[in-house]
Chain A
Amino acid sequence: DTVLTQSPALAVSPGERVSISCRASEGVNSYMHWYQQKPGQQPKLLIYKASNLASGVPARFSGSGSGTDFTLTIDPVEADDTATYFCQQSWNDPRTFGGGTKLELK
């Protein structure tokens, strides 16, 4: 299976820019997607196919990358962005998720 590696946690101050990385163990083309999950809630789609903003998602969120290295960027970070962020690939079978990056606000 394709393993997606994310750093476990990040802490930033409101107003700053943060980049969350996701590295795939093998190439996934541009078939990488990002989700936000707040405590006690279901995940929510943020970015699909590496860089496409999902409907209703603020333009503060953006995605980039291809192949094996991908980045979700939030600029500027707001207090409401406290959540865990997951990457997910759909190029290789089975579809797999990263372990998640917990974003905390200072």
Chain B
Amino acid sequence: QVKLLQSGAALVKPGASVKMSCKASGYTFTDYWVSWVKQSHGKSLEWIGEIYPNSGATNFNEKFKGKATLTVDKSTSTAYMELSRLTSEDSAIYYCTRTRWIPYYFDYWGQGVMVTVSS
């Protein structure tokens, strides 16, 4: 069965960076895009961007360009997202998802990573 296992919660200082992982199993990792979604305040959801593991191609929400960097390691079927120059606005839960290409919906979700930005 399809699983996306994300790394653990992170407490980071303002101005620092954080890198989180998303290990995929149960499907061919290189066949599907992986998207990342932010959930703030336990409510609203925002699409950050996506990466195609086969080629490394990426697409981003303009709002998160310069904030998020997406990479993959095909050898371990793992996707990564690094967030830089963190502020309190980046405190949120971050989900990785498997994306079904056209019409671009998210059919499987990881359990989420809670990031807290605090000094």
Segment from B13-21, B69-77, B102-110 that makes contact with A: B102-110
Q: Which secondary structure dominates where chain A touches chain B?
A: loop
Tell me whether B105 and A94 are in contact (CB under 8 A): no
Q: In the complex, what residues of A have CB within 8 A of residue B63's CB?
A: 94
Interface size class of B (residues with CB under 8 A): 20 to 34
Tell me whether A31 and B95 are in contact (CB under 8 A): no
Tell me whether A49 and B105 are in contact (CB under 8 A): yes
Tell me whether A31 and B104 are in contact (CB under 8 A): yes
Docked Cα-Cα span, A49 to B50, in Å, equals 19
Q: In the complex, what residues of B have CB within 8 A of residue A90's CB?
A: 103-105
Tell me whether B109 and A48 are in contact (CB under 8 A): no
Q: In the complex, what residues of B have CB within 8 A of residue A60's CB?
A: none
Docked Cα-Cα span, A84 to B95, in Å, equals 17
Knowing A31-B103, A54-B107, say if A96 contacts B95 (CB, 8 Å): no
Q: Which of B62, B63, B104, B107 has the most CB of A within 10 A?
A: B104
Question: Nearest 3 pairs between A and B by C-beta?
Answer: A90-B104, A94-B61, A97-B45
A-B contact pairs, 8 of them (CB 8 A): A33-B105, A48-B105, A48-B107, A88-B105, A94-B63, A95-B61, A95-B104, A99-B43
